Structure 1
Amino acid sequence: MAGGTEKRRAAEIYKRLQKMGCPFLEGVYVSEPQSIHELLCTPSVIRLGILEWICTRVYPPLQEQFSVLKESEGDTKMKEMAKLGFELMLCGDVDLDLIKGLAHSGKQLSFMGELLDIIQSSPSLCSNSELESTSQGTDEAFVTYAHETEELLNELFSSVHFQATLTPECNPWPADLQALLLPEEAQERKLPSGKDRTHGDYLKELEKISTALKDLKEECTFLCSSVPGGETVIQKLRLALTDFHQLIAAFIQIYENEFREHCGHPAPQLSPSGPLFQSVHTLLTYCTKELEAISQLSDTSDTIAEMVRKRQQTKESWGGGSTATIYEKIKGLKQVYETFLNSLAK
């Protein structure tokens, strides 16, 4: 039985599929959470059709590829869907159990949910009417991300605080490593200042950047939607640019709020008693180990004494059907031995 969290997750994905107009849900009337969970996480023709529809929405060229396959080539479809999930870093390249519906239900729901997130987050995947303008919209989005990243990098490298970070007043290296790092620290690390540059220099750099972008676009043939796998690569590039932009923005925010006030502090005074502290620490470590050994010896002695005491007080069978403690047995043997000696003396 599925847990309450998985049932709610399945109901959420089912509602999203209904809103997106999944054709495989037409004529399917389920309302109970358990029924919805079984529909989405149990191997069936409907479930495989839903997953196939989601994959073709994420990567439209798959629809044309699937249309020429025969019904007996279902394994090929599943391999292509697993390959798509692997390229999107959502599953393994041979994770066929996830496609067939044999994997854990939580993993299946997470896989479907992430695919739906990709569809809803990409404007070019939201409706079929926009498929013709996919290439143009993708190029514009790529150029927009590139410009935004370029502006952010210019702002970052021209910041005074970034210069202070590159050459901090407080050296973080230990005293025993500073001598080895002096040649590297002596090098001046400066970025070109914007005050010494003219508008002509900026125009020349912009022309170089524009020419480089044109050459890059000619080399990156995968940016064309007619190339197989092009849209998947574009999705990855867009995701990488977005993550890079967010990382730099988060670094700037953390630096402004937390790091900046600590950059102007004077270097700390290092204590000359470092070797003494290390010697004391070593002696204390040895003392601790000796105390642990004494404690273990005491515990072992107590354990042996307890075992001997139990052995003396526990009655055991010594043969002949009689039971007695070891003390009583030794005492009886002693009496037998004395009787035997007395009989020999007579």
Structure 2
Amino acid sequence: MAGNSTEQLLSMRVYNSLQSLGCPLVDGLYLREPDSVQELLCSPSLHRTDILKWICASICPSLKEKFSTIKSTQNEDLVQELTRFGYEMMLCKANDQDLIKGRAPPLRQLRFLEQILMVIQADSRQNSCSGDDSVKNDDLLGELMSQDHLSDLDMLLNPVCNPWPAHIREHLIRTQSAHNKTNGNHSKPSDVTNRSDHHSRLGSHGEESLTEAMALLQSTQSTLDELHKECEFLPSHPSGSAAVLSPCALKVAISDMSQLMTAFGHIYNTDFKAYCQRAPPALNSDASVFQSVHQLLHACNTELEALKQLSETSSSLTQTVQQLQTDKRYWSKGEKHTLPERLEELKNRYVAFLSLHQS
């Protein structure tokens, strides 16, 4: 009964999903009984095949043309095409045609339909989100291009303030004038007069700022050298001199660093932040007790090791004594005797000697 109730609930869920997605093949059915819905979705029929065709075409619109070329009598070709699409979506096996025809167990068919409908729902949500983003972008562009912000945009495109120092501005002016002369652009007399006045004003500050410029260049060069040591990915100069900073390489490095910082910030806020804000653990004041216990256990282990070695030595000594008592060896007169036998013989000879002299 539990299996039947699960199949019925799942069939109603799939049927409601088809209605919410606007499937035209379930519009005029008005099915209310779970058994009827399950029979529609899990029994082999042309209507069920058309529903599968609509689902697959909704996911991949290019399948509509392919389905239109398949004739109604070529049912096997249609089943093979649907099976191939399900296999490409990793929802069924490559030869799982019973699932497409409606001959598989109902619960398996309903799981398959539910999973493939989730793909359509995910695509629809993504399209709606992208549509909202495009609307927001259009609103932002409209706001930026409004009359209230045109003056700000003009100031950004044509800034009045020149950020360069005086000696660099003089160099830029000379470069620009030389470039204009090579292009055949002749300046007006008024412009020449203004520029000469400007150059005379800047010349008085040239000597004062020369020392500052040299110090700035040296500090900049040292900073660039330190950056180059850290950026190992930058190519070295072919002649072996100082490395040349590549703008493309710097752009790639900055982009990678920005992505890494964004990813780290997201992970920190979602996973690590709760742990990083915890108070540090308090050290136990009874650490000396554990140290003394460790020393006592180490001494106990040393004594046990010594007792083990003593036991092994005693066993080895006992085995040696037993071998001396049981093994036969050559003694006098070229005869082999054990040590107890030899001792017994010496004892008898000693007793005979004493009895002979005492008598």
TMscore range, shorter length: 0.3 to 0.5
Q: TM-score, normalised by structure 2?
A: 0.39
Give the structure with higher Rg (CA): 2
TM-score (norm 1): 0.40
Higher relative contact order (CA 8 A, sep 6+): 1
